[in-house]
Amino acid sequence: MKDNGQDQTRPELKKCWKRSRLDSGNACEKLQEFGNCRNCPDFSQVARSLLDRPFPAEVLDDWSERLSGAKDASISNEMSVVVFRIRDEWFALDTHFLQEVAETRMIHTVPARTNLLFLGLVNVNGELLPCMSSVDILGLTENLVSHPEGKQAYRRMIAVQKESERFVFQVDEVLCVTQVSRDVMEPLPDTLMSNDAALTTRLFYLEGATVGLLDTERFFQALTRSLPS
């Protein structure tokens, strides 16, 4: 409760829970009814009065300045991506479209529908999602990359969503989710840009590997086109 910014809580209520206990001589008569101060409406009234107190003017001015100020350019220039390998190629996808990274699971084929690009349906958290062949959609070879001795890679499934479109595709390894500055991203070579099938838009380097940033729009268009009619 407040009036003109002043706390109007009745004096006898302030910190009454510190003065009154069931085992004390000045026990509050309401304890017999409510059993605990947290159940008492007077206690709730005091709690609300704490929240009703006005903020000091200097605090409001400070937060107004923070919220109205320009965003830090170094933050706005960062992009969050999930980096993964398919065969011997590394790719990155904007995490805004990442739904889940999961262990591989059974793909249920669909009679007269399963083909080279559409592998079938996969159960993800109780929902059947179309599982697409990332190898064929991206036009990659079937050659598997060799790993240094002692390094072990685990295949994963990645669930993605753009608006109402949801898909799952397999990858041979998930490296990490990381922040990448757009300043370090490079344009694609002319030879790759001339390829209409190219689904990457920029390149960057991470842990000694060249990573292609997937063009989200074209990637989802390719996934949608690959669904059986």
Question: Strand 127-132 vs strand 173-181: parallel, antiparallel, or unpaired?
Answer: unpaired
Q: Per residue in 62-72, pLDDT tens?
A: 666 665 554 55
Model pLDDT, residue 1: 41
What is the model's pTM?
0.64
**Burial classification of residue 153, based on how many CB atoms lie within 10 Å of its CB (0-12 exposed, 13-18 middle, 19 or more buried):** middle
Round to whole Å and give the CA distance between 91 and 171. 10
Model pLDDT, residue 77: 86
Model pLDDT, residue 3: 45
Domain definitions of the chain by residue range: 2-68, 75-225
Domain 75-225: CATH superfamily, name plus number = CheA-289, Domain 4 (2.40.50.180)
Model pLDDT, residue 198: 77
Q: Per residue in 133-143, pLDDT tens?
A: 999 999 887 66
List residues bridging with 83 in a β-sheet.
Answer: 92, 176
Model pLDDT, residue 40: 74
Model pLDDT, residue 157: 95
**Segments in the chain below pLDDT 50:** 1-9, 22, 70, 73-74, 194-196
